[in-house]
Amino acid sequence: MSTNPSTPSISYSFTMRLAYPNHVGMLARIVSTIGKEGGDIGAVDIVASDTKGMTRDITVRPRDATHQEQIIARVRGLSGVNVINVSDRVFLLHLGGKIAIQNKVPLVTRDALSMAYTPGVARVCEAIAAHPRKAWQLTIKGNSVAVVSDGTAVLGLGDIGPEAAMPVMEGKAMLFKEFAGIDAYPICLRTKDTQEIIATVKNLSVGFGGINLEDISAPRCFDVERELQAQLDIPVFHDDQHGTAVVVLAALLNALRLTRQKLERLRIVISGAGAAGMAVARILLRGGARDIVACDREGVLHEGRLPNLNESKAWLVRHTNPRNLRGRIQDALRDANVFIGVSGPGTLQAKHLRRMAPKSIVFALANPTPEIMPEEAARHAFIVATGRSDYPNQINNVLAFPGIFRGALNVRSTQITESMKQAAARAIAACIAPRELSAEYIVPSVFNRQVVQRVAAAVQRAALQAGVAGKRK
């Protein structure tokens, strides 16, 4: 089975600057060549022109990097066409980084400087020294989150190091600011040592109201989150686990409205027994699911494998697979209602989905290439979701973490409890009215501004009920 996307993607968008004779029909030849090669043409802009020559910028969306090179080669092969330059639009967007710090107070007078910095700032320092909790009102702490990674589990790329993780952490900071108005800071650590990560984050936590852990490989991520939450009085949230789990639950709740099934009666198969797989299983069990089978690369997790499993996989064995199934993932899929993939590309083939129960639900969430491409899954599944933005039903963590942290910061929550995650999931699901639901619309758009507001409100209420709020909103 091919795992390459079959449709053009904005993620590989590029712009060619072309010079060619100003003859009737030249542009048509170029556009036709790109179209025949499968490229999706966007903007076409004139850079310069005279009676002899024409220079244009043509933006194209290919399927992937290989397809991009094929399109460029075909255009280079056209008689009379000179490819002056090719610009990758994604790389251009990242030039110089994607975020910046901006002052809230203009420093244009001597008086402003004296109040914002020395000598006036000394009085504020003394007030905080006497009452440390005042840092929440008098510094950026109350509206700031640290986005922390060691670069060991970045997207589907794996251990690529802290420098290479920076673009993702910057992107996360952008999402915090854009959707929740939270100032977030990318912090990538040059260590893989669990205790060093814990100590570093603990020491720098002073200036933050929350910690968002990101792209730290399992099983270390479990220890990092658990230890930091035990040692800090601010929320520590590993988004790869809990953000994914929250949105999966939200999407599943809406899918069940369409299939008219109950979570308690579903047979659910999870592919992937790492951080996300464990968190998804945990939130579904707490939500009422009773029959979950988890699988890793070796197949179904069952009691017979316990001696050779790490702590997280052992937890899954103890809390899932009530029928004690064994075998490969395709065996687990027999009569299953739901497949949730948080593993890697090409895990499933379309023929495997034939084994599932009628009106099956398939969430293939591996990114950028899912466990099975949506076009193939749709042949057999009633509802299909992915983690990609270029297909319907994108299960995207941005639906969860901005609102969760917004709500937590608003009430100065000391942690993010399971009840707060459940509340967030149900708030996300409720953003789609029953009359709007369809097989291709079970999760709201990431640009729906109501999502953050509803999630934040639900999380605040849950924090107050759980007794973890340090401030009554």
Closest CA to 232 of 424, 410, 420, 408: 408
User: 37, 8 in Cβ contact below 8 A?
Assistant: no
Distance CA 255, CA 361 (A): 8
Task: Give 356's contacts (C-beta < 8 A, 6+ positions apart).
Answer: 333, 334, 335, 336, 337, 339, 380, 381
Give the active site residues.
Answer: 117, 172
Stated as kind and residue range, the H or E segment containing 293 is strand 291-296
β-pair type (82-88, 14-21): antiparallel
The C-alpha atoms of residue 137 and residue 131 are separated, in whole angstroms, by 11
- DSSP H stretches of helix in 210-289: 220-231, 239-259, 275-287
Determine contact, residues 349/1, Cβ cutoff 8 Å.
Answer: yes
Give me the sign of the Cα torsion angle 29, 35, 38, 40.
positive
Output the CA–CA distances (angstroms, integers) from residue 115 to 120, 123, 137, 138, 312, in the order listed: 4, 10, 16, 13, 52
Calculate the alpha carbon distances from 4 to 247, 364, 369, 370 in Å: 25, 14, 7, 10
Short-list 168, 170, 171, CA closest to 151? 168
In contact, 385 and 276? CB cutoff 8 Å: no
Alpha-carbon gap, residue 20 to 55, rounded angstroms: 7
SS3 of residue 410 by DSSP: helix
- Give first-to-last CA distance, the chain, whole Å: 53
Pairing state between β 210-213 and 267-271 = unpaired
Give the containing element (helix H, strand E) for 82.
strand 82-88
User: H or E element: which one contains 44?
Assistant: strand 40-49
Cα angle value 405/406/408 (rounded, 5°): 60
